[in-house]
Chains A and B, each alone.
Chain A
Amino acid sequence: MSESVVVSNLRKVYRGGVVAVDGLSFTVKRGEIYGLVGPNGSGKTTTLRIIATLLKPTSGDVLVEGYSVVHQPMAVRSMIGYLPEEAGAYRDLTGYDFIEFMLSIRFKGRELEERIDEAISISDLGEFIEEPVKKYSKGMKRILALSVALAVHPRVLVLDEPTSGLDVEKSMFVRELIKRYREREGITVILSSHNMLEVENLCDRVGIIYKGKLIAEGEVQRLKSAYSASNLEEVFLRAVKRHGV
């Protein structure tokens, strides 16, 4: 496996001096599902927003499929599918219109029609696809946004808390989707979560981030062994203690 996402010495300081990301470096291999875990405010969302070219790093860089988020943001955007935390959709559009609008940015003609069909199929919203988005539940809106992110066939899928706030059934649906697309398209997935159990079941490798620093990284089983822990939560607590952050 070659490298798909390379995060190098990433640092992000917000106006006011708050350090959100502090010298973060990690690599995600092509076709891998990589999980960034950590508590609220640890820098996960900031890191993913930088990868999605929404924020600019104070220093350091991220290469996505060889393109720099600092110098080639448009090229990076054409490589990725991004699902923001609390992703929503335009309230005045129907689910179908939303899918059509978002995909029409990248595709035209017959290809657009095929991608729309694919997104509709992914969303599995049935007759609701013709209903206005304002009638959708939070889970439906999230799946609608995810269907768009997947239907573009990105090389890298960036998911910020993909199952946050979803019920068990919808969470499983989303996880299955991610797995299926990774297998079918061979895409790289980088996701954030503070649901350790989800990450344990879904991700090939995990990076534990705390106060903007990567304090542990590796395959889940190896991390558990290294920290003599029975689950990822224990790994996290012991890593924090060991590194004295």
Chain B
Amino acid sequence: MVFRSLLKREVKAIVKNPGFLVALLLIPLFYVSLGSFMNTGIRSVVTQNTGVIGVVDEDNTTLSRAFVAYLNNTLNGRVRLVTGVSELPGFSTIVVVPRGFGSEALNSTPRLVTYTPLGSLSLTSIGSLPPLLLQGSFNEALRYALAALRSNTTINFYSNATVGLDIKIVYEGRVLDYGRVSTDMGFGIASTFVVAILMSFTMGFATQASAVEKAEKAFELLLSQPVRRVYIALAKIVASIVAAVIMGAVLFGSLFASLFSMSLSSQLTPQAAGVSYPATSQVIDLNTILFMLVTAVLGTLLSGGLGVVIGGLVSDERTAGIIVTPLTMVMLGLAIMVQFTGLGLNTLTSVVSGLTVAPMPLLLSLSSTIGDYTYFYVALASSLAEVVAVYVLAFKVYNSEAVVTGLQLRGRS
């Protein structure tokens, strides 16, 4: 009975909290909007994976012709013979069967060169490029072709035959190195999580810094001192960022240690046969690293500012927690969801990335890959403008009486 009363009181306190009600409205709104973005992304990935594939048969041998024919069968008739890579805009990928393919296939691992246009790709679909997804089909077509060439053997005889891929990504007529692309995107995806988590930590700390001070009844005493309130707000933000960086360092250090332990045991596991992944470049240029740091700084500044605004407007710790928890989930959600949303590279995407900050590392990676930072600069400018707006708001809140009374949504009783 006592527990029921306690539970009833706790549930009532949460449910009747305006912050909780606002969060209930905002979360569906956010995820429904995200859903429509995802839909676009999924459509583009589906198009890439079910699109028509052009094949340039430079080898033009019995084996290469058989390979193309079997590839067409394997891919349900999606293969078209083309004369050159210049026809790429009409295809999701063009596969070049180079001279010597046939002789290589008989002696070792033959190589194919694939060209995929970057313009049709989403921010994150590079990791699942059509050529990589087609690897199985290439291998299977090669085995059938080899078996057909020597009529006395079966396909099982060539079960170890695989095709090596030389993947090229084409952007505005330029051919990009896949290793570089892959490294950049890996860095971008990892950095997205780092930025999102740092932002979540910072917002939590900044909100609590004000809310706890109010609960301790020391806030009014501080506000009545002859000190500029801008400094009070800034001190909370900077302290929150420092705390978030320390917490983030511990978190990511621990994760790294955990992954390191896992990698030691994975060395004992045999590699999956039949798939040959292209080598990746290990070098990330200094510009990208610097811009990533700028993004992280902007993200923490933004979330710190937002935290101070929320902390300044709420009247107690409970409301602060109720508002900040879903917001941090939204930030982490953004970081996770953006990996799958397939946002295209355009001005709108750049502005949205800038305003939410978490997806900016992916945008940066793509910018680094194509060697054109224009879209990243658009995101950077959007983010910077938002940070300035949030700080103006934060200082306004701290200079207003709302910081003392709390935001009175229903008036004062």
Contact = CB atoms under 8 A, between A and B. Distances in A.
B126 interface: no
A82 B224 contact: yes
B87 interface: no
Contact of B411 (A15, A80, A86, A89): A15
B403 to A, nearest CB: 9
A148 B221 contact: yes
Contacts of B218: 87-90
Interface stretch (A53-61, A179-187, A198-206, A217-225): A53-61
Nearest to B222: A102
Given A14-B408, A16-B410, A55-B404, A87 B224 contact: no
B401 A55 contact: yes
Nearest to A149: B221
Nearest to A84: B220
A91 B215 CA distance: 10
A86 B223 CA distance: 15
A105 interface: yes
A74 interface: yes
A49 B405 CA distance: 11
Given A14-B405, A49-B404, A54 B224 contact: yes
Interface string A76-104: 01101011101111110000000000100
Given A84-B220, A86-B217, A88-B216, A77 B401 contact: no
A80 B221 CA distance: 11
A16 B412 contact: yes
Interface string B199-230: 00000000000000100111011111111100
Given A89-B216, A105-B226, A106-B226, A145 B412 contact: no
Interface string B384-413: 000000000000000011001100101111
Contacts of B404: 49, 54-55
Interface in A100-121: 102, 105-106
A90 B408 contact: no
B220 A55 contact: no
B66 to A, nearest CB: 77
A122 B78 CA distance: 89
A244 interface: no
A20 B408 CA distance: 15
Interface residues of A, number: 31
A52 B225 contact: no
A18 B411 contact: yes
Contact of B226 (A14, A15, A54, A74): A74
Interface in B225-246: 225-228
B412 A15 contact: yes
A53 B410 contact: no
B213 A80 contact: no
A17 interface: yes
Contacts of B412: 14-16, 18, 20
Contact of A77 (B226, B408, B411): B226
Grouping DSSP codes into helix (H, G, I), strand (E, B) and loop, the A interface class, with mixed when no group exceeds half, is loop
Contacts of A15: 408, 411-412
A17 B408 CA distance: 11
Interface string A114-148: 00000000000000000000000000010001001
B401 A106 contact: no
Contacts of A54: 220, 223-224, 401, 404
Nearest to A148: B221
A55 B405 contact: yes
Centre residue among B222, B228, B410, B412 by max chain A CB count within 10 A: B412
A155 to B, nearest CB: 12
A90 B216 contact: yes
Nearest to A13: B412
Centre residue among B216, B224, B408 by max chain A CB count within 10 A: B224
A141 to B, nearest CB: 8
Contact of A53 (B213, B221, B224, B405): B224
B174 to A, nearest CB: 57
A20 B405 CA distance: 13
A105 B225 contact: yes
A187 to B, nearest CB: 16
Nearest to B403: A54
Contacts of B221: 82-84, 87, 89, 102, 145, 148
Interface string A32-53: 0000000000000000010011
Contacts of A16: 408, 410-412
Centre residue among B213, B220, B222 by max chain A CB count within 10 A: B220
B216 A80 contact: no
Contacts of B213: 90
A81 B322 CA distance: 35
21 contacts: A14-B411, A16-B408, A16-B412, A17-B411, A18-B411, A18-B412, A52-B224, A54-B401, A56-B400, A74-B226, A74-B228, A77-B227, A80-B224, A83-B221, A86-B217, A87-B217, A89-B216, A90-B213, A91-B216, A102-B222, A105-B226
Given A82-B220, A84-B217, A106-B225, 8 more contacts: A14-B405, A16-B412, A54-B224, A56-B400, A56-B401, A80-B224, A89-B217, A106-B226
